[in-house]
Amino acid sequence: MKDFFLRSVLIFSFAGFGLLLVNDLQAQRQQFEVACIAFYNVENLFDTINSPGIMDRDYTPEGRYRWTTEKYHDKLDKLADVISSLGTDISPIGAAVVGLAEVENRLVLEDLAAHPKLADRNYQIAHYDSPDFRGIDNALFYNPDLFEYISSRPIPFAMEREDGSFERTRDVLLVTGKLMGEKIHIMVNHWPSRRGGEEATRYKRVFGASLNRSVVDSLKKEDPMTKVIIMGDFNDDPVNHSIKETLMAIGDQDRMQPHHMYNPFYEPFRRGLGTNAWRDSWSLFDQIILSYGLVKERGDGWRYYKAEIYNERRLVQRTGRFAGYPFRSFAGGQYIGGYSDHFPVFVYLVRPVRN
């Protein structure tokens, strides 16, 4: 993988926005704007109300988890603390957009966005109710100072059965907007789990990859260098068929052809890093994947810089059965007061400062 920056990088802040001051062999102290793009599976962010037609009774005061207002607000506080920190090492204003998975409805999104730790971001919400039997959806927060919303729509995740009926789950959310003036498309995903076995359920995630791939191909017919970000909890690793073959997301920028996507989380996975753990084994299901135009940009537009897994110490379980895992909210049917069973991920995009 080629490093975009060949020499030292000095980070500083200007009016709250992140800037990179770069010294390399070809440019003398060139400045770059920075934007942070993030994704977080927040692990069952439910309100405390038993909603008709949704299997959410466990998340009520009388339910299995004894889900009270106090616990709900404790989880909101923890999630807001994490989201407020994403990307601030380089971009002090924080993430321009944050994809979210496992949110029950718009109410919990509004409560999270209004939390004191996030309120100054003025995050706006793109969200649609999906047909998931548990009632969990995908959503996107966007900072209107950085991202100008144009449109959004849910893309049905509907797999046809042999009898002609359809198996439906969480819709893919497609949002189009302008990131500080430049058009970009963002797709938020949460593909079906491996419950029942990885091999037996593989076709479901391959279907999800095909769905995303068809949207990317359609957008690229209009503009081969169009900029698309696919993010989500894919319940597959970077090396699995759905990601590597169907979505055609590779981990080597030098090998990229126009039909490829770029997966910056391939290398962290190869090094043994992950975003969630199960039975003492790490997986890297949470990824942000970029279209050719975001990697091979040769002008003054947005281009990929680097990716990170946000696995700060406070997000790690310290003791007990799940020591070393992400510090989750629930374990063994009990609320243990953590953040999520997934670590968030984010990427930085950069572009030359326009004079």
DSSP sequence for 198-253: HHHHHHHHHHHHHHHHHHHHHHHHH-TT--EEEEEE-SS-TTSHIIIIIS-EES-G
Report the b/e string of 168-187 with b at 16+ CB within 10 A: ebbbbbbbbbebbebebbbb
Token pair belonging to 116: 């004191």
Average pLDDT of the chain to the nearest whole number: 91
Mean pLDDT, rounded, for 309-333: 92
- Around Cβ 279, how many Cβ atoms within 10 Å? 4
In the three-class reduction of DSSP (H, G, I as helix; E, B as strand; rest coil), residue 32 is classed as: strand
List of domains in the chain:
9-352 (3.60.10.10)
Confidence of residue 205 (pLDDT cuts 50, 70, 90): very high
Mean pLDDT, rounded, for 86-112: 97
Confidence of residue 134 (pLDDT cuts 50, 70, 90): confident
Query: pTM above 0.85?
Result: yes
- Report whether pLDDT(333) > 50: yes
Backbone φ, ψ for residue 246 (5° rounding)? -70, -50
CA distance 142 to 157: 23
H and E: helices and strands count for the chain: 6, 19
